[in-house]
Amino acid sequence: MSDTNHLLIPHAASAANGCQQALQGLSLPHLDRLLARLSPLPSASDNGEETSFSTPHERALARALGLPAGDGRTPWAAWHRQQQGLAAGEEAWAFVTPCQWQVSTDHVTLRDPAQLGLDEAASRALLAIVAPWFAEDGITLHYDEPTRWLASGVLFADLATASLERVLLRDVRAWMPDAKQARVLHRLHSEMQMLLYTHAFNDERTARGLPVVNSFWVHGTGVLPQPVPAATAAPPHLPTTLRDAAMREDWRAWAAAWAALDAGPVADLLRRAEGGSPVQLTLCGERNTRAFHSAPRSLAQRFQSLFRPQRFMDVLRQL
């Protein structure tokens, strides 16, 4: 059970054919009952595109945390550093994820970094190999976790970048940052591919049957606003089960995850709403966000909701 009254659900729906078919068999009774009690919250809803650098749930989370929500411009890396108790200051930060680009005749696909099998020792060894090249361009790399490093440098101050989730298992060329602003990154991508192609680090991985690491992805760029935004409420509960299934395009697992969410976190939020607690529900797809909250309703609105309740299927189709 979450200690927050705000439930934010990523990948609540998708335009993919498999998802649309899975939707037809969904039964989400608690979500239906919850939506019937809540009112739309336009200030926390938005419309976007599948080509936006930021996913709808990232934009919604940024707004909930008081962070900038511009497309590809939420300073997630700086915020993460601040959450760790480390000074982010007025420096520009970014996440750098070591990864594998799989090159074919018409695609350059970013493979899932979680499948690389990088542990801390291997990640630190790789960082030591590439860090001097980044340093030549004024970028300092810092270890954070095996599949994610932190980077600081003026280049990241006003650079819009696509979230890792947007580009995962897709053609990276559609998601590269602006060529003029990011000339340094474009060149570093080429240099890293040449450096790592024949490097002993990858030779040793190949001998062990592990995927090679031949590139990186930059995301979460920006400078943390000063003063640092103070949270006005507990961060929303953000379950990732729908997202994980959707990224694999496993729509049977996605439908099962929705059923579990309806019986768990959604039912919990419904109980809180029925008990008089103020609650918020934010549903995100690949394009849009629809938010709802408990708010006083007129007698006419209550009467209307009895005959024309807002059904979950209608809302999910808007995402």
pLDDT value for 87: 72
Label residue 1 by pLDDT band (50, 70, 90): very low
User: What single string gives the DSSP state of each residue in 167-226?
Assistant: HBTSBGGGSPPPTTTTHHHHHHHHHHHHHHHT-HHHHHHHHTTPPP--EEEEEEEEE--S
Paired with 6 in beta bridges are: 280
Encoded tokens for 259: 């059923």
Paired with 223 in beta bridges are: 92
pTM of the model: 0.90
- pLDDT, tens digit (0-9, with 9 covering 90-100), for 165-217: 999 999 999 999 998 899 999 999 999 999 999 999 999 999 999 999 999 99
Label residue 300 by pLDDT band (50, 70, 90): very low
Quick one: which of 269, 272, 246, 271 has its CA closest to 258?
A: 246
pLDDT value for 179: 86
Whole-angstrom distance, CA of residue 19 vs CA of residue 25: 10
- pLDDT, tens digit (0-9, with 9 covering 90-100), for 43-95: 899 999 999 999 999 999 999 999 999 999 999 999 999 888 887 678 999 99
Q: Pairing state of beta strands 6-9 and 280-284?
A: parallel
- H helices, E strands: number in the chain: 13, 10
State the DSSP code for 41. Answer: -
User: Left (φ > 0), alpha (ψ -120 to 50) or beta: where does 66 sit?
Assistant: left
CB 77 within 8 A of CB 151: yes
pLDDT at 308 over 60: no
pLDDT value for 226: 83
How confident is the model over 90-102, as a mean pLDDT? 95
Label residue 313 by pLDDT band (50, 70, 90): confident
Q: Pairing state of beta strands 289-293 and 39-40?
A: antiparallel
Looking at every residue in the chain, the average pLDDT score rounds to: 91
pLDDT value for 230: 66
Task: Report CA-CA distances (Å) from 296 to 262, 269, 276.
Answer: 24, 17, 11
- pLDDT, tens digit (0-9, with 9 covering 90-100), for 236-285: 999 999 999 999 899 999 999 999 999 999 999 999 999 999 999 999 99
pLDDT at 299 over 50: no
Strand order of the sheet with strand 148-152?
Answer: 140-145, 148-152, 92-99, 215-223
Whole-angstrom distance, CA of residue 53 vs CA of residue 177: 9
Whole-angstrom distance, CA of residue 27 vs CA of residue 229: 39
pLDDT value for 104: 86
Which secondary-structure segment (H or E) carries 8?
strand 6-9
For the chain, the structural domain boundaries read 6-66+231-316, 76-223
Which secondary-structure segment (H or E) carries 10?
none
pLDDT value for 58: 96
